[in-house]
A and B are shown apart, each in its own frame.
Chain A
């Protein structure tokens, strides 16, 4: 690994000043380190200067808002998010998603902010965050902006963040009662692998059994985590029968663009994207129906 200068600022203001001063390609930010240390060890990233965020108190913490929303500091680890009662209370599927990432050793170290800015389209958190309408808060010395997680990604390992900007938090809006969410990973190899494809979905039915809210997002299916609006639009106002769900899920074929790799050929992943979208939606439909019967 090429030697670098390490800064460990103790406040966000100090970190933003450092970034403004050295906001060039030779300066990198490190959060948990699972991706950055790996990239530096392999020589794929060779920074002159690394700014560690770990000592910045403002970036830690997980909190429920008065309105029922959830705010997560960028440095919350996957393991903290897997175990936090606030996350489970917000949506069990969100806890479960973090619990399914890699291994416990990685979950102890990897942070949510690091995960998002690394922008690997096969990662697990982005699809479920997109399905839950999450937004990211980004700060620089000149101010703060918020953008939907869906819009954070430009391409493989590339985000919309500008030099000098730090992703500081993720916010999830309150979840309307009756909304159910799920995240399914297709793992034909090992438990801790990246998914061949993954699907997150959120669904809410009205009193008449028709879809009044639908979100679908896919991982590993393109250069970015992909929101499947065509599928959502095909469901809104409809009764989610098996046939309707199958028709809607088939529409992912027109938007996915998966790479061929060790986890499957592009053609196979394309098929699996449809199959797993259908499974996710059917599972949510069945959960909603069961809860109606109980009432």
Chain B
């Protein structure tokens, strides 16, 4: 085994970690950094519960070697809200429109939708459904999730603080 020292920004804060080369990004986030908002569901890249943004790109933290994020800007669900008092308009819409049931998939849903709105600020319902295909909700609360995302897009405010999530 080799160890790697990596330097990156996690939710805006500079971090330096020494990690085993076989560590996955999700292990580093949850076990090394205590960021347990990112969930491990299927472990094979299908369910979307571990969705994170790496330099603004939507990726599965369960499929990415942590060593690959050296120098990158990683955003998890903990890093979206501007401060303890406020949520992003997208997070707020998930609450107002009931875009969650048990909640386990919600961090991944919100991260995936954040990436969508960064790329396509005014998506159609069809575009939302297609983009969100990769985020499963076993409570099957899909209608409310789509409704929440469309509401955030229509709220007229920028639902994503681009500079904070490293979106180009």
Contacts and interface: CB of A to CB of B under 8 A. Distances in A.
Report if A and B associate in a common complex: yes
Interface of A: 1-6, 8, 30, 33-34, 37-38, 40-42, 50, 52, 54, 102-106, 108-109, 190-192
Contacts, number: 79
Q: How large is the interface on B (under 10, 10 to 19, 20 to 34, 35 or more residues)?
A: 20 to 34
B95 interface: no
8 contacts: A6-B2, A34-B45, A40-B22, A50-B21, A103-B48, A105-B48, A108-B57, A109-B63
B65 interface: yes
A133 B43 CA distance: 36
B102 interface: no
Given A33-B68, A37-B24, A191-B130, A3 B62 contact: no
B13 interface: no
- Give the residue among A34, A37, A105, A192 with the most B Cβ atoms within 10 A: A105
Contact of B45 (A5, A38, A50): A38
- Give the residue among B59, B64, B65 with the most A Cβ atoms within 10 A: B65
Interface of B: 1-2, 4, 20-22, 24, 43-46, 48, 51, 57-60, 62-65, 67-68, 112, 115, 130-131, 133-134
Nearest to A190: B133
A2 B45 contact: no
Given A6-B67, A105-B112, 15 more contacts: A2-B22, A3-B21, A5-B1, A34-B63, A37-B63, A37-B64, A37-B65, A38-B63, A41-B62, A52-B67, A103-B134, A104-B58, A105-B45, A105-B60, A106-B134
Nearest to B21: A6
B67 A108 contact: no
A182 to B, nearest CB: 20
Contacts of A34: 45, 60, 63
A104 B134 contact: yes
